[in-house]
Chains A and B, each alone.
Chain A
Amino acid sequence: MKVLIIGAGVSGLFIAYELLKRGVGEITIVDAKTPGSGASLRNVACFRSSFTSPEHVILMKESIKKWLEIRDSWGVGIHQNGYIWVARKNETIDVFKKLSQFHNSYGVPTRIIGKDELKEKEPYMNIDIVEGALYDPTAGKMNLMEVFTELYLRVKKMGAKIIPYTPIEKLVVSGGRVKSAISPRGQLDADVFIVAAAEGSKKILESIGVDVPIEPVPRHPIVTEAYSEIIKAGLVIDWDTPGSPHITQTSHGSIILARDVKDEPWIPLNSQRFDAIYKIVKPLSELYPALRYINITRYWMGYYDMTPDHHPIYGPVHPFENLYIAAGFSGHGLMMAPMTGVVIANWVVDGKPGIEVAENLTLERFKTGKLVKELAVIG
């Protein structure tokens, strides 16, 4: 079986990885630019399963299991050092209690922590302005570059062909099947086509009359120079400030500060906003006063490829029997990638994803109106 995967990001690469593990022979992955040049290497590299929809929780619980297997077998830096949502207001603790109940009911052991425990966990936090926090011990962060390059090298070694600078302009269909993908460099034929191209998936599928409701919304992370460990948790989120400012520190020592600043979709990624820096830095430096003496070294932009219900689009693209999609991860593409690989590989080889909730995430749901609801989108 010849498979063409469009998009050499973390999703496309994990799909290839799983297909190769299941013995599928010829895998070619093309990318409009270079592997990882999209959102795969433009994110805060964190993971959690403490979501508020069964779809997210179940898929992420499995994904975290896979990440830990990867940590042990590949020897890469993946750290389960938790997520902390801090509450500035007392009322928020009540909200946290309800969330925690939901999480616990799905076997995700989040719990409320008080000021003392918070101070122990985050010695550099200004405890005076917080009331407590919601803690997810099974969440964490990873060494993004290390993990991605290891994934890339392994997929290459396992036999996949990875071709950069090959944007796909359109697909050609015949008799209910996709026959080929057309790029300026030529035509690519295959038996199975998988589109894992984030917001790029829109244009590709539009060419055969399929509407994909993905909008790339820009995000504005700020990166600092390297310092000794200040942020101990995998990710700390300021729940009560609009836009949920969040902060993490890489194992390299750089601190990443971010916030969901309201911005237009499709804005180019070289259009940095002066006001965004204030919006991000101010609340986080209130939480961590040491930040004031830290040097900002880079401000890059990245996309969340957002769907209307903030859940990914998985699976077959009807009515074409050999076409699949894995896109619209709305900010969670990296953390879900191992399971993206599994469910898509299962769909291709077995005809079904192997995990029930994945059936709720097909493209069909936008036609039937069966959208999923999710509250917390960041991180």
Chain B
Amino acid sequence: MDREKVTIICRCNDVTLEDILKAIESGIDDFELLRKKLKIGFGPCQGRGCLVIAARLFARKTGRNLGEIISNYTFRPPLVPIPVKYFTRGGEK
């Protein structure tokens, strides 16, 4: 078993531990860039399942401060996915 290939960090987008380690090795030294390149937390869960794990891994590998990494993350609405049909009538005030 290739451990790193089957350890799934981001379930929504199938980002594996191997993907993250390879990206860091290739020179990605900023967590936001790592996230954006690999699409960690871009899926339906918007990072609920993977953000902290990915941040921890990144902090460990690069020596950065975990708290700083997590504090830089921005939270935007909607906090849960909303079907478009909620916005196809009325509401324009």
Contacts and interface: CB of A to CB of B under 8 A. Distances in A.
> Is chain B in direct contact with chain A in the complex (CB below 8 A)?
yes
A252 B88 contact: no
B93 interface: yes
Nearest to A285: B88
Nearest to B34: A149
17 contacts: A35-B33, A145-B36, A145-B39, A146-B37, A148-B33, A149-B28, A149-B33, A225-B43, A272-B77, A274-B91, A281-B88, A282-B92, A285-B87, A293-B84, A296-B83, A299-B76, A300-B74
Interface of B: 13, 26-28, 30, 32-33, 36-37, 39, 42-44, 46, 74, 76-78, 81-85, 87-88, 90-93
Interface residues on A, range: 35 or more
Which 5 residue pairs of A and B lie closest in terms of their CB atoms, listed nearest first? A295-B81, A281-B87, A149-B37, A278-B91, A292-B85
B33 A36 contact: yes
A156 interface: yes
B24 to A, nearest CB: 12
Contact of B36 (A149, A153, A277, A296): A149
Contacts of A298: 46, 76-78
Given A41-B36, A156-B27, A157-B27, A300 B76 contact: yes
Contacts of B85: 292-293
A291 B30 CA distance: 34
A276 to B, nearest CB: 10
Given A292-B83, A293-B84, A272 B76 contact: yes
A153 B30 contact: no
B84 A291 contact: yes
Contacts of A164: 30
Given A145-B36, A145-B37, A225-B44, A153 B84 contact: no
A121 B85 CA distance: 25
Contacts of B27: 153, 156-157
A300 B74 CA distance: 10
A36 B83 CA distance: 30
B26 A285 contact: no
Interface in A15-54: 34-37, 41
Greatest chain B CB density within 10 A among A148, A252, A272, A295 is at A295
B56 to A, nearest CB: 19
